[in-house]
Structures are given as C-alpha cells and as structure tokens.
Amino acid sequence: MKNKILYIIMVCALGLITMTSCESDSTAGFTRITYYPTFTLLGESTELVPVGASYTDAGVVVMEGENDITSTVITNSNVNTEEIGVYAVTYTANNVDGLPGSARRTVVVYNPEISTDISGSYTTVGETRRVSGTTETPFSDYSISISQIAPGVFYCSDYMGGYYDQRAGYGSAYAMKGYFKLNADNSIEIISGDVAGWGDSYNYLSDAKYDAETESIYWELGYVTFSFYIYLAK
C-alpha cells in the first residue's frame, strides 16, 4: 500500500514538472521589450508664417528606445503659404515590430497687415435662431469663445452658437469648432468647422462680419438641413 501511495505521488510530481516545462516553452520569445516610437519636434509645435513667405519645416527626431529611427519617418504636409489658413505637418514611423507612432505640427499662414483683434468671450443675443423650413427656434444667452492664434486668424468654440452643445445639453463634442480669417474690411471667411460628435461639417458660412463700433459679430451658417442666424455680442 505504501508503495502504491509513493507511486501516485511520483506520478503527480512528474505531471507538475511536465506542466511547468510546457508553460515555460509556451512563453518563450514573448519576454522581449518593445519600444514605441517617441517623437521630439524640432522648432515650435505651432509655426506662424506670413502669407507669401517661404516655409521650411524643422522636422523631428524619433527614437525607439535608445535607437535613432529618424531616417524611417514619413512626413506629410498640406501647407500652402500662398493662402491664409491653418495647416498640418504630420510625421509617422513604425518600430521594429511594426507598431506605429505619430506627431503633428500646426502651421498657420496669416496676413501680418491685419491688426484688429476680435478675440474674447461673446454671448448669443437678439435674433439668434435656428431655422428649419418654416419653423424658427430662437435661442440666446449662450457663451461663445473666440481666440486669436495669429494676426487675422481666429478659433471659434462653436459656429452654431451653443445650440447643441449648451442648449440641448449634448456637450462640447456637438459644438462646431474651427478656424476663420478676418479680412481688412472686417468681413469673416471660414477656414474650417467640424462637429466631432457627428463627424460632419458645415454647408456654408455667409454674410459673416465684425462690427468694430459695437464689438459684435454676425454670420449665417448652413448645417445639414438647418440655417443658423448667429448674433454675438461681448
């Protein structure tokens, strides 16, 4: 009986040894550390370039752990220095295991002759409304922020005047955010405007202007099947 018990114990011990050995073999080759590409921008993350001037990108340095892999970087740019706007330079690279990394630089092409700064906190007022067919929905007292990023180039927190973001309570992902330019005659032209929550953009922005005397702004915005008439005052 003792021999039988000893035999069972030995068989179990061998089984444990075998299981341990299999587990060790199954994880072989999976303990190597992999490093994602890390990007260091040379120059500023946002570059300001006067319209008509030349632009040479400063580039990046990319490391994979202690290895410099800058030579593998792919750079894409849509910068057009002949047209006022907000552009992007993107850098991408993969590590030895094919895992990707990226970085981005913003390039703002601006008109140095525009000295008017209309940045500040505004509120929707007056005849601000959304129109759908024959149905008009007035709304007011919502806050809109406008920030200058370069002479004559501004960022708007919501072209729709807070209608979905604040009035409907959907949150900031449903504000139409983007950039616009201010011309010498105080007219406004949209550069970009996107609604992240729905993944879409505007149809048009027209009759947009800044009134220096009253420090007010007006525009008409087309979005999907709606028209927004936005009146902003400080």
Residue 41's CB is within 10 A of a number of other CB atoms, namely 17
Residue-level length of the chain? 234
Could you report how far apart the first and last alpha carbons of the chain are, in Å? 97
CA distances from 175 to 26, 125, 164, 186 (A): 51, 18, 6, 24
Residues of the chain with pLDDT under 70: 1-31
Torsion on CA atoms 182, 183, 184, 186, rounded to nearest 10: -60
Chain segment 47-66, per-residue pLDDT in tens: 999 999 999 999 999 999 99
Residue 1 has what pLDDT? 44
Distance CA 166, CA 85 (A): 28
Residue 11 has what pLDDT? 36
Residue 32 has what pLDDT? 75
CA distances from 20 to 25, 32, 72 (A): 9, 20, 42
Residue 31 has what pLDDT? 66
Residue 194's CB is within 10 A of a number of other CB atoms, namely 15
